[in-house]
Amino acid sequence: MNRSSPPFTVRLYAVGDFFVEAYFSKSPYYEGNHELQHVFSLRSQNLRKSRSQHPFEPYLDQIDLHQLLRS
């Protein structure tokens, strides 16, 4: 999944039993391309301890459950 968090484009990846958010910014060297700036690991045990906004909340509008309901 992707989301915008200016000046970054953030991509969410599932890697085994955890998730990774990768932050990309526009490249000053390659027109139309992006460069990786930051990577953050989101593990389930760390998510339960957080009192702030859940890290996956910005992605909720991209989740489509219609295919699950059609079965």
Question: What amino acid occupies position 35?
Answer: E
**Residue-number span of the structural domain to which 47 is assigned:** 2-69
User: What confidence tens digit (pLDDT) does each residue in 5-20 have?
Assistant: 898 999 988 888 788 8
User: What confidence tens digit (pLDDT) does each residue in 40-58 have?
Assistant: 887 655 555 556 666 777 7
Total domains, the chain: 1
* Neighbour count for residue 43 (Cβ, 10 Å): 11
What pTM did the predictor assign? 0.64
Handedness of CA 5, 56, 47, 11 (dihedral sign): negative
